[in-house]
Chain A
């Protein structure tokens, strides 16, 4: 693994490697003088604090458009061809306040359709921000040249592909040309056993089922099948996927719905090391921020804890704010 970025944030250091591995450790730097030598250096001394604190977000999930022509029946974003693009140039000052090493998960809607996408990603790259992007599988072919450009110019690091059709061999052949940092996104309750063959040896992210907007109507219509697939995933398929996939990861909602700690028999010690923290655990007793991530919706110019936050927990911003202030704002009401 090659180190991509290392930085200090709050009470800890963060190291991100070129395969996406991220190591965080609490501690502090201390000046060290070598006997008989002039000068010295700073040595990192780990500490045994029981939580991380943050001066700025480690990850920001940013929705840049609500436009999408994929029409997925369970889309919790409700994105359509009538959706609008966010004004990315309006948030330039906020982008300027980002810290090198911060990760941005860029999504939509169809982020590839945004006319300022390249400008935006070049801006992030110039700041040392690690941009990642979510792409719907349906958009692989129509945007093939653009995707190749993003990869060739290192404008994105991680690429999440929303799984739609596991039988499309051409799509997966193309995915295999995109490097080692592609993660297939699969939704609990939608993911089916027929998809497993194509997932073997790949990195996958299992997302919890969001019973929201079109996700809600899809669930109502197809409850029996969604429920069956959810139960099978929880009780049977998880173990198979963990054995067959290169990496299996979960978002917070999927952890709630599938209980991988119990169902994959993960020891408490391993869990404590691998679990990245809940996105609703926002402050410690001293008032320090303890959540690593936040959600930015440029289409509505709001920030929140996460994309599923209720409307009364989304807060307006004007694009001139420092990202650290927006992180603080996003913790209000939690």
Chain B
């Protein structure tokens, strides 16, 4: 069981805040999102505008950066890091009345040893094409950072009017 009190301290001196609803500029259009990190982003010319598509994209982008964000050679550490960040997103969205459910088998962490180095891989079924993968200052990197460090910004991104446009350079 889990409950969330949203953005207020218990100031009420005659009985408690029993429930609170936060409101931001983003227009919340759904109350539940299922995420499987299985979207394929980057080759076809497509706009992704729906909240579930945007959150799936952000999840895929985050998974790209997750393995490098943890300075550890242990799979457990990477799993703990990812699970913590997923939980933060669930908590943040729930605070706004949106239930997020990540697929149970959404990702797998594998490690391979090469001589003295250990290479950790986070495997998901979705991908972002290499030309727009979340490196440096690309937009996808910003979305991945929101996912990892600023779920409130991620929430705004998912429910505001911005959208993801994918394309290729063959035209």
A interface residue numbers (CB < 8 A to B): 1, 12, 19-26, 32, 34-35, 37, 43, 46-52, 59, 61-63, 76-77, 103, 105-108, 111, 130, 132-134, 157-160, 181, 183, 185, 203, 205, 207, 210, 242-255, 260, 264, 266-267, 269-279, 292-293, 295, 306-308
Contact = CB atoms under 8 A, between A and B. Distances in A.
A185 B11 contact: yes
B45 interface: no
B4 A306 contact: no
Contact of B1 (A48, A76, A306): A48
Residue with the highest number of chain A CB atoms closer than 10 Å, among B1, B10, B95, B97: B10
A48 B91 CA distance: 16
B138 interface: no
Nearest to A134: B13
Interface stretch (B19-27, B34-42, B128-136, B162-170): B19-27
* Top 6 A-B residue pairs of the complex, sorted by shortest distance between their CB atoms: A107-B13, A158-B9, A160-B11, A249-B20, A20-B9, A22-B5
A90 to B, nearest CB: 20
B17 to A, nearest CB: 5
Given A1-B152, A183-B11, A207-B12, A248 B21 contact: yes
Contacts of A103: 9-10
A109 to B, nearest CB: 10
Given A248-B23, A269-B32, A308 B6 contact: no
A275 B11 contact: no
A266 B6 CA distance: 15
A77 B32 CA distance: 42
Contacts, number: 204
Contact of A134 (B12, B23, B91): B12
Given A23-B2, A25-B1, A59 B10 contact: yes
B14 A207 contact: yes
A246 B15 contact: no
Interface string B44-55: 000000000000
B76 A34 contact: yes
A133 B93 CA distance: 28
Contacts of A47: 1
A252 B31 contact: no
7 contacts: A12-B1, A49-B1, A105-B11, A133-B13, A157-B9, A247-B20, A266-B97
A241 to B, nearest CB: 9
A61 B14 contact: yes
B117 interface: no
Nearest to A111: B13
B122 interface: no
A269 B99 contact: yes
A106 B12 CA distance: 8
B31 A274 contact: no
A299 to B, nearest CB: 13
A24 B12 CA distance: 19
A273 B16 contact: no
Nearest to B1: A26
B74 interface: yes
B116 interface: no
Contacts of B80: 43
A273 B4 contact: yes
A191 to B, nearest CB: 15
A35 B97 CA distance: 39
A293 B12 CA distance: 11
Given A26-B2, A269-B31, A185 B152 contact: no
Most chain A beta carbons < 10 A, residue from B2, B9, B19: B9
Contact of A242 (B8, B9, B15, B21): B21
B31 A270 contact: yes
B13 A63 contact: yes
B7 interface: yes
Given A274-B94, A279-B15, 11 more contacts: A49-B1, A106-B13, A108-B13, A130-B9, A205-B12, A246-B7, A246-B22, A248-B20, A273-B99, A279-B16, A293-B16
B7 A270 contact: no
B16 A59 contact: yes
B1 A51 contact: yes
